């Protein structure tokens, strides 16, 4: 008979204790394959428990395959393969993946979070939680909540001259997420192009999706049309309102060239990444390429993670209608990746004018802060060794340093001072002198102390 | 001189009016390419505005490429390609993509949302909004908030015998999202397998990612090892705790066979989809395959969208440590797709025991409801024409109808009564008689009226 001790005081019920003790004996081969188990009644009386308790334990063992039953005979121990059944050894917990923090971070595309109207955002979330409880538990439509798609359509109409239907909007959890979908929509057999210099992040997304893609050199603030043709590019990714990282606005001539290129052949598309067009320090935001496209060749991509705050992961794209229909036919089985709560709150944040006011405010704050930084740099003792490029472009500018040091030496020097910077050469495959010794600086979230600390480091670099 | 009317009362500033009127004249070729613009001072005095206003308008036109400047001479109209610059015609708005609603939905995997403790969930969200404001605006780590990863690790330890580190957990916006990442992690050149019958949704994700994949017939409540070998499968997707759609538990023998198969060759993995293991009506939840894997061959996948509520889009996977390190090295450039707020609230929902209590409650509710449905079906006048399969498995069961109708006739009949059902044959590529005339029924969200309405429809079907 089985030797099993059950504990009435245990948190586990008797049948679970019995089940797991028999299971352990089977695993440890104390009970041998083929061996017969005592009948339920016998075991129950032996252990002083109810027949029901034994019955439940046997059922679970049967369900999981540790025992089998033979009609009119009883229960037997199953034969198990020799794979060692054991738990992994408990390890001390330590987190490996923490982000390095820097004294000055001139790389991360973080907005000035202290200006975000968190109390309003919280209020909207709270109100949504109170008034829309039922809806929050429903499945979100594949393309996103209608309220948010309408708010986005109205916003684009008012601020970007884009005349679209809310049905052309697709909500997703981040630009890279939408990019993965786009590749599935447009086809993995197409050839993709990315500006050079340009977004290595997008190039990575393309590479990790195993699609053929090329870096296409920029030329005259547009793209080299020869390279586009030569590489056989079908789909080109650009940020015309504010080229990343060079910072210029793509002029109308180059925009029209690209539209004409797209129109020459079926299946050609332009992906317009409008990630920070709201933030130019001078002049009005430049209208997107989408607004002058009449043939459905432009896919418009934007994110609220950068406009609003990095903790809020909501991006969207506007697809030409035929593409949206193709998406609905083929890819709408994918669930929407953003939860309903934040979509509804964001819809109100836009509709009630908070977004506009916030953008206005942050432009002002960033612009003041940026002017201060420029002034400090231009009046520092190393000013004559510095060249400023696209310094009014918003979000980031280029700073060229007249030095003998190589790019990796410059970068490592700053890193040794706990300053994170990107070099322009990190965003290009072309080893051109004009792309060297140049920092890509994002100063949208910089305190005065950090400015001084950075300038002091540049001074030291100059003296070494 | 330019004929331009400016309106002091307009919401747009004078310079923006001036800029857009000149732009329109350039687009409409009223101003010809090469034509010289009046000097800033002349135009200002002609229009009765300040020089600054004209300067701002010219700057914006220059920035966007509509005009160009020549040193010591002035500003000229640019030459534009002939692409027609115009806005799309405004269309009446109507939403095309609305979901069909049914009187009875026996397909959608929706939980019984009325039991979700929305007030507690709201409270946790509100508290997170109050106490963690700063953190909510920070960028979420690529793998998710540490609090949530720790809560998940503790939960898995307590309820699933899984001894993991929070660093093995990766948070993402939905299972399909994580699947896309998995394919990028494991390689698009690998051969994937899905159970047959099995999840056509996962098959679709694989197909849309253009990876080679096969449906592998199930056999003896496990998989056909011959087919696995023949097709050269490297990575197999299974739901061993509750096979979808057949509903059985994969017995320990078959689990060990699969583990041994995975161990035979480097690069073989098992993706364990544990989507509804919490919900068995009878017995204790079956422990995952992951808990008996000692060689890092099992990738564990689960979602809170189904456990908690469909509006909350948070899934996670547990990767064996070497895979997680590979992920961190190659794919951590992808931002986390779930916003910080819901991650922090969910962490507390788990840590403070609400999840456990909720699962307990919903199991009870669903079980009562399910018993009622079974009773009604078994006591209806067509009971003898019905066969029930895995009716205690939780979430869904199979109902075979003894009828001459084909599967598509049955499905369409129910659709004509506004009842959405899936047929078992929709989940398989094998035209076997045992997979015919069988409904896959999810009754977790069914009112008594809906039960009666459905039974009435089955009666009608029988009489036709």
Read off the pLDDT band of A448 (50, 70, 90): very high
Among the partner-chain residues A139, A208, A254, the one whose CB lies closest to the CB of B184 is A208
DSSP state at residue B36: B
Among the partner-chain residues B56, B116, B174, the one whose CB lies closest to the CB of A137 is B116
If DSSP states are collapsed to H, E and C, what string results for chain A?
A: CCCCCCCCCCCCCHHHHHHHHHHHHHHCCCCCCCCECCCHHHHHHHHCCCHHHHHHHHHHHHHCCCEEEECCCEEEECCCCCCCCCCCCCCCCCCCCCCCCCCEECCCCCCCHHHCCHHHHHHHHHHHHHHCHHHHHCCCCCCCCHHHHHHHHHHHHHHHCCCCCHHHEEEECCHHHHHHHHHHHHCCCCCEEEEECCCHHHHHHHHHCCCCEEEEEEECCEECHHHHHHCCCCEEEECCCCCCCCCCCCCHHHHHHHHHHHHCCCCCEEEEECCCHHHCCCCCCCCCHHHHCCCCCEEEEEEHHHHCCCCCCCEEEECCHHHHHHHHHHHCCCCCCCCHHHHHHHHHHHHCCHHHHHHHHHHHHHHHHHHHHHHHHHCCCCHHHEEEECCCCCCEEEEEECCCCCHHHHHHHHHHCCEECEEHHHHCCCCCHHHCCEEEEECCCCCHHHHHHHHHHHHHHHHC
3-state SS class at B391: coil
The per-residue pLDDT for B459 is 92
Read off the pLDDT band of B91 (50, 70, 90): very low
Q: Looking at the domain B114-357, which fold is it?
A: 3.40.640
CB-based contact, A415 to chain B, within 8 Å: no
Instruction: Single out the residue of A30, A1, A2 nearest to residue A18, CA to CA.
Output: A2
Chain A residues close to B16, C-beta within 8 Å: 284
Instruction: Single out the residue of B220, B329, B323, B343 nearest to residue B271, CA to CA.
Output: B323
- Interchain pair A331, B208: CB under 8 A: yes
Mean pLDDT rounded to a whole number for chain B = 88
Mutate to test the interface with A, among B17, B62, B63, B211 (most CBs of A within 10 A): B63
Q: How far is B137 from chain A (nearest CA, A)?
A: 4
Q: Could you count the other beta carbons within 10 Å of the beta carbon of residue A208?
A: 20
Most confident of A15-29, A387-401, B172-186: B172-186
Chain A residues close to B259, C-beta within 8 Å: 83
The per-residue pLDDT for A113 is 67
CB-based contact, B158 to chain A, within 8 Å: no
CATH architecture of A360-463: Alpha-Beta Complex (3.90)
Chain B residues close to A142, C-beta within 8 Å: 97
- Interchain pair A208, B330: CB under 8 A: yes
Rg value, chain B, Cα: 31
A contact residues 387-406, partner B, Cβ 8 Å cutoff = none
- Residue A397 Cα distances to A104, A311, B378, B385, angstroms: 16, 24, 73, 75
Percentage of chain A exceeding pLDDT 90: 56
Answer yes or no: are the C-beta atoms of A299 and A317 closer than 8 Å: yes
Q: How far is B392 from chain A (nearest CA, A)?
A: 12
Of residues A109 and A45, which shows the higher confidence score?
Answer: A45
| Phi, psi of A439, rounded to the nearest 5 degrees | -90, 140
Read off the pLDDT band of A148 (50, 70, 90): very high
B contact residues 224-243, partner A, Cβ 8 Å cutoff = none
Q: Say how far apart CA A230 and CA A112 lie, in whole Å.
A: 42
Q: Say how far apart CA A65 and CA B198 lie, in whole Å.
A: 21
Answer yes or no: are the C-beta atoms of A457 and A416 closer than 8 Å: no
Q: How far is A87 from chain B (nearest CA, A)?
A: 6
The per-residue pLDDT for B408 is 95
**Residue A419 clears pLDDT 90, i.e. is over it:** yes
Q: Which residues contact B213 (CB under 8 A, 6 or more apart)?
A: B191, B192, B193, B194, B203, B206, B207
Q: Taking residues B18-35, what's their average pLDDT?
A: 86
**Residue A159 clears pLDDT 50, i.e. is over it:** yes
Q: Say how far apart CA B182 and CA A227 lie, in whole Å.
A: 34
Chain A residues close to B130, C-beta within 8 Å: 122
Q: Say how far apart CA B280 and CA B391 lie, in whole Å.
A: 10
Residue B7, classified by CB atoms within 10 Å of its CB into exposed (0-12), middle (13-18) or buried (19+), is exposed
Q: How far is B381 from chain A (nearest CA, A)?
A: 31
- Residue A425 Cα distances to A406, A440, B358, angstroms: 11, 9, 54
Largest CA distance in chain B: 98
Task: Encode pLDDT of A66-120 as tens digits.
Answer: 899 888 889 999 887 665 444 433 344 567 777 778 899 888 766 666 778 888 8
Beta strands across the sheet bearing B438-442: B386-389, B396-401, B438-442, B422-423
Task: Encode pLDDT of A358-367 as tens digits.
Answer: 888 888 888 8
Answer yes or no: are the C-beta atoms of B390 and B246 closer than 8 Å: yes
- Interchain pair A88, B201: CB under 8 A: no
- Interchain pair B165, A93: CB under 8 A: yes
Q: Looking at the domain A14-88, which fold is it?
A: Arc Repressor Mutant, subunit A (1.10.10)
Q: Could you count the other beta carbons within 10 Å of the beta carbon of residue B123?
A: 15
Read off the pLDDT band of B86 (50, 70, 90): very low
User: Cα torsion at A301, A304, A307, A311 (round to 10°)?
Assistant: -140
- Tell whether ipTM is more than 0.85: no
Task: Encode pLDDT of B37-72 as tens digits.
Answer: 999 999 999 988 999 999 989 988 888 888 998 888
Q: Where are the domains of chain A?
A: 14-88, 114-357, 360-463
Answer yes or no: are the C-beta atoms of A377 and A386 closer than 8 Å: yes
Please name the residue of chain A whose CA is at the shortest distance from the CA of residue B126. A126
Among the partner-chain residues A129, A141, A161, the one whose CB lies closest to the CB of B87 is A161
Mutate to test the interface with A, among B31, B96, B116 (most CBs of A within 10 A): B96
Pair of tokens at residue A406: 């190589």
Answer yes or no: are the C-beta atoms of A21 and A49 closer than 8 Å: no
Q: Which residues contact B301 (CB under 8 A, 6 or more apart)?
A: B175, B178, B271, B272, B273, B274, B275, B315, B316, B317, B318
DSSP state at residue B284: P
The per-residue pLDDT for A212 is 97
Q: Say how far apart CA A65 and CA A456 lie, in whole Å.
A: 70
The per-residue pLDDT for B64 is 83
DSSP state at residue B283: S
Percentage of chain B exceeding pLDDT 70: 93
Answer yes or no: are the C-beta atoms of A1 and A39 closer than 8 Å: no
- Interchain pair B173, A135: CB under 8 A: no
A contact residues 279-298, partner B, Cβ 8 Å cutoff = 282-284, 286, 291-292, 294
A432 CB-side CA count, 13 A = 11
Please name the residue of chain B whose CA is at the shortest distance from the CA of residue A64. B251
**Is 0.90 surpassed by the pTM of this model?**
no
């Amino acid at each position: 008979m089985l030797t099993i001790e059950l504990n009435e005081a245990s948190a586990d019920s008797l049948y679970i204790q019995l089940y797991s003790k028999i299971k352990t004996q089977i695993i440890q081969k104390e009970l041998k394959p083929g061996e017969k188990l005592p009948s339920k009644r016998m075991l129950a009386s032996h252990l002083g428990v109810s027949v029901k308790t034994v019955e439940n334990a046997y059922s679970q063992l049967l369900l999981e395959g540790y025992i089998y039953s033979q009609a009119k005979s009883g229960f037997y121990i199953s034969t198990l393969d020799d794979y060692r059944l054991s738990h992994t050894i408990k390890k001390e917990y330590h987190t490996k993946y923490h982000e390095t923090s820097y004294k000055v971070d001139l790389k991360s595309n973080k907005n000035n979070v202290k200006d975000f109207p968190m109390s309003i955002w919280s209020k909207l979330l709270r109100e949504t939680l109170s008034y829309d409880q039922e809806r929050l538990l429903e499945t979100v439509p594949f393309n996103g909540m209608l309220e948010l798609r309408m708010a986005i359509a109205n916003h684009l109409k008012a601020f970007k001259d884009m005349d679209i239907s809310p049905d052309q909007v697709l909500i997703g959890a981040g630009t890279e997420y939408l990019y993965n979908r786009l590749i599935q929509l447009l086809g993995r057999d197409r050839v993709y192009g990315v500006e050079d210099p340009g977004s290595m992040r997008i190039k990575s997304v393309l590479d990790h999706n195993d699609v053929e893609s090329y870096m296409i050199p920029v030329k005259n603030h547009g793209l080299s049309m020869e390279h586009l043709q030569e590489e056989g590019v079908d789909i080109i990714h650009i940020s015309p309102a504010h080229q990343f990282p060079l910072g210029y606005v793509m002029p109308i001539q180059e925009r029209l060239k690209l539209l004409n290129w797209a129109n020459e052949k079926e299946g050609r598309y332009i992906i317009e990444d409008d990630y920070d067009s709201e933030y130019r320090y001078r002049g009005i935001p430049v209208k997107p390429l989408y607004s002058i496209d009449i043939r459905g060749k432009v896919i418009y991509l934007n994110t609220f993670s950068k406009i609003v705050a990095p903790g809020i992961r909501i991006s969207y794209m506007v697809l030409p209608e035929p593409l949206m229909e193709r998406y609905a036919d083929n890819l709408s089985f994918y669930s929407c990746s953003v939860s309903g709560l934040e979509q509804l709150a964001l819809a109100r944040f836009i509709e009630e004018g908070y977004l506009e006011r916030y953008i206005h405010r942050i432009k002002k704050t960033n612009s003041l802060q940026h002017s201060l930084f420029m002034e400090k740099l231009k009046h520092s003792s190393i000013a004559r060794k510095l060249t400023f490029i696209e310094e009014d472009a918003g979000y980031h500018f280029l700073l060229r340093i007249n030095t003998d040091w190589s790019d990796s030496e410059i970068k490592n020097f700053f890193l040794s001072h706990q300053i994170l910077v990107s070099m322009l050469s990190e965003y290009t495959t072309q080893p051109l002198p004009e792309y060297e010794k140049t920092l890509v600086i994002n100063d949208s979230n910089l305190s005065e102390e950090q400015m001084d600390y950075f300038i002091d480091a540049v001074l030291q670099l100059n003296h070494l």
